[in-house]
Structure 1
Amino acid sequence: MSYQQKATSYWKKNIQYLIILLSIWFLVSFGAGILFKEELDTIRIGGFKLGFWFAQQGAIYVFVILIFVYVKLMNRLDKKYGFDAKDES
């Protein structure tokens, strides 16, 4: 496989990861915080309605978790295609 083919495959997979992870974030932030708020408000966490909690806190937590997931996926992808940082010294 040539360098150009590897780079193209790498970026296609990277874009696929981004679409999936950003879709999850959208569903959590917009879906849970706005669209499904009424249904989620029937559940309480720490005295607060779950819909309110997702709108104020949950979406941020999910976003931070998705950052760590993205880092792990990209490290694995870098190694798969040989683009990982190697100690050249």
Structure 2
Amino acid sequence: MATSLDWFAQNSFDIVPTTGWGSTMAETPDQAMTVRDVAGYLNVDEKTVYRLAKRGGLPGFKVAGAWRFKRLDLDNWIDAQKRAAQAKM
């Protein structure tokens, strides 16, 4: 006889998208992303994100000592990086 837990196990699903690294990705463009989220989004190591943010090369801000990033800011930064690369060609 099936229990309500059996039904839940068979019919439940993830409602929060993940980056594939075990953390949750920001659900909306205006929600702040973590260093891990950004590393997954840019396909770089977390240390690279910390290094770029610390030297001001990546748009971010700190909340209680932890770096946070807005996806729109990152997308604008990516566009600027692409324009700068094309200008050098």
Q: TM-score scaled to structure 2, two decimals?
A: 0.28
The structure richer in strand per residue is 2
Structure with more relative contact order (C-alpha pairs < 8 Å, separation 6 or more): 1
The structure richer in helix per residue is 1
